C-alpha cells in the first residue's frame, strides 16, 4: 500500500511491513531507472552539442523522451492504489483431530489500523447449529471456552493477529470432560479501542470425532 496509516476511525487498513518494503523497492527502482536514463540521454546530447552534430530536431526528441519517462515515474505510486482497498476480515480455520491438544498458531494481517496498546478479546467458540449459539457468553456443552482454549495476540506493531487453540484434550474421555464435542465451531476476535470494538478475525474450528478412548 502506498499510503501511510490513516485515522483508525475511518476503518481503513494499515500497510504491513512487507507491503511498505515492496512499495519503496518499486519506487527506488523506478527512480533509479529514470535518473540513469536521463544521465545517459543528456550526456549524449551534450557530447553532440560539443561536436556540432546535435540537430534541433534531436532536442525535441530528447525532451519528449524525458517527459514520457517522467510520466511513467509519476504514475508509479498510482499503480498501488488498487491495493489500498479495504482488506477482507481474516478468517482462520482450525482442523482439530481427535488426538490433538494444540492447533496453530495461525496469523494474518489486520484489516484495520490499530494504535499500540489496544486490548483484544476472543469470544467463546459456539457449535454451529448447537445449543451454544443461542447468544451470550455462557459456556455450555455446545461451546468452547475461549479463556481456557483460545489464545490470541497482536504483533508488536499491531498489524497482525495470531490465534492458537490450546489444551483441547486428547481422546474421547478428555474431550467430554472439557465439554468439546465434534462439530464446526465459530467465534471472533475483536479489539477494544476506547469505547469502540473493531473486528479483527473470524475463527472456525472443525473438531473431528476422536477414535481414542
Please give the mean pLDDT across all residues of the chain.
77
pLDDT at 196: 77
Residue given cell 479483527 in the structure block:
200
- DSSP secondary structure code for residue 211 in this structure: -
State mean pLDDT over 15-27: 73
**Which helix (H) or strand (E) segment is 21 a member of?**
helix 17-51
How many Cα atoms sit within 13 Å of 81 on the Cβ side?
Answer: 5
Phi-psi label, residue 179: left if phi above 0, alpha if psi -120 to 50, beta otherwise: left
Q: What is the pTM of this model?
A: 0.55
Three-state SS letters, 22-68: HHHHHHHHHHHHHHHHHHHHHHHHHHHHHHCCCCHHHHHHHHHHHHH
Alpha carbon distance 29, 5 (integer Å): 23
Q: Is the pLDDT of residue 9 over 70?
A: no
Phi-psi label, residue 109: left if phi above 0, alpha if psi -120 to 50, beta otherwise: beta
Q: How confident is the model at residue 164 (pLDDT cuts 50, 70, 90)?
A: very high
Q: How confident is the model at residue 10 (pLDDT cuts 50, 70, 90)?
A: very low
| pLDDT, tens only, 68-98 | 777 777 777 766 655 444 567 888 999 988 7
pLDDT at 172: 78
Alpha carbon distance 104, 171 (integer Å): 19
Alpha carbon distance 182, 158 (integer Å): 33
Q: Which of 24, 7, 4, 26 has its CA nearest to residue 15?
A: 4
How many Cα atoms sit within 13 Å of 144 on the Cβ side?
Answer: 30
| pLDDT, tens only, 165-210 | 998 887 777 887 777 888 889 999 998 877 778 888 999 998 888 7
Dihedral sign from CA coordinates of 123, 125, 127, 131: negative
State mean pLDDT over 114-124: 83
Amino acid at each position: 500500500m502506498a499510503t501511510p496509516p490513516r485515522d483508525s476511525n475511518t476503518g481503513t487498513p494499515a500497510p504491513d511491513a512487507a507491503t511498505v518494503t515492496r512499495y519503496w523497492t518499486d519506487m527506488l527502482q523506478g527512480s533509479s531507472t529514470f535518473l540513469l536514463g536521463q544521465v545517459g540521454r543528456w550526456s549524449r546530447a551534450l557530447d553532440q552539442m560539443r561536436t556540432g552534430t546535435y540537430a534541433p530536431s534531436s532536442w525535441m526528441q530528447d525532451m519528449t523522451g524525458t517527459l514520457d519517462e517522467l510520466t511513467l515515474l509519476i504514475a508509479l505510486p498510482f499503480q498501488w492504489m488498487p491495493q489500498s482497498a479495504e482488506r477482507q476480515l481474516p478468517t482462520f480455520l482450525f482442523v482439530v483431530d481427535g488426538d490433538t491438544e494444540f492447533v496453530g498458531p495461525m496469523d494474518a494481517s489486520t484489516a484495520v489500523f490499530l494504535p499500540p496498546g489496544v486490548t483484544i478479546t476472543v469470544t467463546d467458540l459456539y457449535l454451529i447449529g448447537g445449543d451454544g449459539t443461542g447468544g451470550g457468553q455462557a459456556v455450555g456443552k455446545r461451546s468452547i471456552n475461549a479463556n481456557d482454549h483460545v489464545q490470541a495476540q497482536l504483533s508488536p506493531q499491531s498489524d497482525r493477529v495470531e490465534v492458537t487453540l490450546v489444551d483441547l484434550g486428547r481422546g474421547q474421555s478428555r474431550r467430554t470432560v472439557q465439554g468439546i464435542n465434534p462439530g464446526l465451531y465459530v467465534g471472533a476476535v475483536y479489539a477494544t479501542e476506547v469505547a469502540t470494538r473493531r473486528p479483527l478475525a473470524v475463527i472456525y474450528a472443525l473438531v473431528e470425532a476422536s477414535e481414542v478412548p
